[in-house]
Amino acid sequence: MGKRIPEPYRHLRTFAFGDSPALADELVELVIKGIKTATCSTEDEPNTSTPGERWVVLDGRGEPRCVIESVDVTYRRFNEVDAAFAYEEGEGDRSLAYWRRAHQSYFGRLGRYSDDMMLMCERFRLVEVFGDSPPEGSFELTEPGG
């Protein structure tokens, strides 16, 4: 049996990033490490969000890994996404060129890509990471000033 969602978060909607287990794992790790603080989706996707809404993020096996909270949601066309947003998405080298290639490929696999497609661009913050051990690359303060 897999991990259970902690009681305070069982009422929240769940989702996984990407369109494959491997991509879901890669992207949730970026969130847990604090690198990925934004995401986008097509404007008509069922996982649209509103500021203040919290979500349980699942990994590629459908296991709950963390909770995020939407901070800001804007709508813009694919070709209007800027370098700052691409950087906050945290993928690859974090450049706009990388973002465009990766997302053209992703939306193309979904049969949805066009250069002027409308996207829901969401910024979020990490609320809580689930699990017994700290994520890789994190640190624990063991003594004052340590």
Average pLDDT over residues 77-96: 98
The CA distance from 128 to 94, in Å, is: 24
In 3D space, the residue among 56, 48, 60, 47 whose CA is nearest the CA of residue 11 turns out to be 56
Average pLDDT over residues 39-51: 84
- Cα-trace Rg, the chain: 16
State pTM to two decimals.
0.85
Per-residue confidence (pLDDT) for residue 13, from 0 to 100: 94
Average pLDDT over residues 88-104: 97
CA distances from 17 to 126, 132, 143, 146 (A): 14, 22, 36, 35
